Amino acid sequence: MGKQEMQYTMQPKAGIKALAVALGMSLWLTSPLQAAEPSQAKPAKKPAAAKRTAPAKEASQMPSGPIEFASHITATVGKSTLLRLPAPATRVSIGSPDIVDVVLLNPREIYLLGKKVGATNLTLWSKSGQSTIVDVAVGLDTASLQARLQQLLPKERNIKVFAASDTIVLSGTVADATKADRAVALAEAFAGKKVINMLSVSSVQQVMLEVKVAEINRTDLDKLGLNFSWQSGANFLYGIVGGNSGILSRTLGNTRATSATGLATTLPNIFGTDGTAPGSVSNVSALVDAQKKDSLVKILAEPNIVAISGQEGSFLAGGEILIPVPQSNGTITMESKQFGVGLRATPTVLDEGRINLRVQPEVTDLVGFTSVASTGLGSNTLVPTLTTRRVSTTVELYEGQSLAIGGLLQDNTRGSINRFPLLGDIPVLGALFRSTEYQQAKTELLIIVTPRLVKPLAPNYALPTDAHKSPSKSDLFLDGKLEGKSESKPAAAPQTEAPAATGNPQPTPAPSGFQMK
């Protein structure tokens, strides 16, 4: 009984022992699992590692060729330009650093700064090492000039500004020549004298200048004197005092000297046979000459000059003379000089009907000849003497108004006294043996210019001679007519109402010249 109980009591111990073994086994089995958990937790951090390898994955997906970019870039002197690339670049290089500066801000942005006008190229390298070459042109700032032209010339919207290397090119149309000059002057302020003017005036205007040139001469001539002359036996007349002094005049025969302007008397043998005249003296003639001349001469020239607005027109009423000019090598060249009445005028049509007029009138007179001795000429040569009156002025007036230029005065005074030897120096009585001449010439030049706007006539205008017909022989000799009979025209057909004309009516022919605006 007691032994069974002992066995009974031992069963629990064996169960406990088995339980402990089972528990130990479970602990042994669970310890690898716990150690394996950290190793399984590390793969959980793989998303972070995946983020670090993402750029490499994107780079592997990017194109490995050169950077696709525009083949031409335009920059402005003194201004910067920011370029955005479609693909990243590793480095850049510029061909001429003195023309443009380049900075790679980041793989996708490039900074350019134009330094002077010129052309160069820009090289871009991609990450794959392939390069792309882009042409770069640096020009002037045409946008600023275009904006300034629109600001100062608001009505001229058709002016275009371009840059050709270091030169500004203006093209388009303007209303008149003055606007074109202002646009060119403004462009020269930007680019100096390197401006090409290709502007055209929308409506070419022509100006007719009505010119009147008047020269007023007021000359006073007072002459009083007694002229002596001898008639020799050879029937020649010699002058001592007055108009025939010292010059062989003419053959008189046995007649006495006469004059339509004076009184001729004969003083026979005033010196006997031993006179001062050469040869045998037969008699002496005395001529009383008294003249007074007061003249008023008016010379009028009325030319009409037609010139395009901004162009010069001129005329000359006179001629040309040749003047010998000796050269250093002993040769003689002939130089041409113009004389007479001349005028140069440049009209410029402005807005609101105003006309800017530059006038240069000139009057050159041939007054005489001067004896000049020159080694090249070989002997004394007569060279013409010219006097010139010239004026230049610029005015602004409206169409139909006149410009008068006057006050061009010329005053020439000339006096001479011819006296008989010894007798002409006697007080009081010496006046009977003297010839006095006093001449005063005054000249005033007056020029009047009137500008008018004109336009050419239609090609079908009628001339006054269109209806003229030469006479036949019967008309000329039998009827005594200098003009032939006009041909009889057939009777006109009955007129019917014509449909309304769709075109522009033909202009009415003007009588002659130009149609006034």
User: Which of 93, 343, 362, 116 has its CA nearest to residue 210?
Assistant: 343
The topology (CATH level 3) of 142-203 is Alpha-Beta Plaits (3.30.70)
- pLDDT of 469-492, one tens digit each? 888 888 888 888 888 776 655 555
All structural domains of the chain with their residue ranges: 72-139, 142-203, 296-454
Angle value at C-alpha 58, between 53 and 63, nearest 5 degrees: 145
User: Span 72-139: which CATH code?
Assistant: 2.60.40.1080
> What pLDDT band is residue 299 in, cutting at 50, 70 and 90?
low
Asked, colleague to colleague, whether 72-139 and 142-203 share their fold, the answer is no
- pLDDT of 309-334, one tens digit each? 888 999 888 888 888 877 777 777 88
- pLDDT of 279-290, one tens digit each? 444 444 445 555
**Residue 212 near residue 447 (C-beta atoms within 8 A):** yes
Beta bridge partners of 139: 76
- pLDDT of 19-40, one tens digit each? 566 555 655 555 444 444 444 4
Q: What is the pTM of this model?
A: 0.45
- Mean per-residue pLDDT, 447-451: 88
Q: Give me the pLDDT at residue 245, please.
A: 35
> What pLDDT band is residue 172 in, cutting at 50, 70 and 90?
very high
User: Which of 8, 360, 16, 34 has its CA nearest to residue 211?
Assistant: 360
- Mean per-residue pLDDT, 227-255: 41
**Residue 85 near residue 147 (C-beta atoms within 8 A):** no
